Amino acid sequence: MVRAEVSVTYYTIVNRTAGGGRCAKLAPEALEELQRRGVALKVAFTETPRHAAELARKAAEGGSRRFLSVGGDGTASEIVNGLVAAGVAGECELAMLPLGRGNSFLRDFEITDTETAANAIVRGDSTPIDVLRLTHQDGVIHFINTMGTGFVARAGELTNERFKFLGAAGSTPTRSTSSSRITRAISITSRCTPRRRISNKASSSKPTSSTPFMVGS
């Protein structure tokens, strides 16, 4: 575990649609609390899908190296892809406030609420993690949590299309609908599992250069 003083402004990307609107309701108070505790923030809001990746890329190219993802796993994933696209992921630190539906990545670190995440940010806790690279027929995607195809991907698509307003509860009708419609599907999930927390050597289905990355909460 690496501890560092929180002295650099966090470029903060807020996805107000995360968690079925939960993020829009809770983010202002959570961010104000961080600022009261001495964390400097520069806040930007996403407007469209994949906007977080573009915001992160531009901020990184402009010199930002500390980022705060306010939303869910999808928001954090977009930011990671933006930092990799900028070519500076190995220099960056990413903190997270779990205000999405599942927030499964932070659960691996036993962080399940904004208060615990905020405490880690204020302390300056950070852990090196793997960034995984998946090459497919349409390009390349990077991820730090899970990657699913087939049933998993279809379930996620249906959740966003029809059940997102239900928040975390939306996964139940999604699974039922997907099960009734998908007769043949392949599901592959790769998970970045902590090993003595998480190592700083990149993993990939294909050989790739090492991409160390720091998680700050």
pLDDT at res. 139: 85
- Torsions phi, psi of 31, nearest 5? -70, -40
State how many domains the chain has.
2
Q: What pLDDT digit, counting tens, does each position of 52-86 carry?
A: 999 999 999 999 999 999 999 999 999 999 999 99
79 plus 175 within the same structural domain: no
51 plus 158 within the same structural domain: no
Mean pLDDT of 87-107: 91
Residue with tokens 């599992």: 193
d(CA 88, CA 64): 10
Residue 145 falls inside a structural domain = no
Q: Is 97 exposed, middle or buried (0-12, 13-18, 19+ CB in 10 A)?
A: buried
Residue 24 falls inside a structural domain = yes
Residue with tokens 């990657």: 147
Mean pLDDT of 145-154: 72
7 plus 112 within the same structural domain: yes
82 plus 172 within the same structural domain: no
Mean pLDDT of 39-56: 96
pLDDT(181) > 80: no
Instruction: Look at residue 2 and give its three-state secondary structure.
Output: strand
pLDDT at res. 152: 66
Residue 146 falls inside a structural domain = no
What are the start-end ranges of the H helices in 90-195?
104-107, 114-123, 151-158, 171-181
Mean pLDDT of 146-155: 72
Instruction: Look at residue 43 and give its three-state secondary structure.
Output: strand
pTM: 0.72
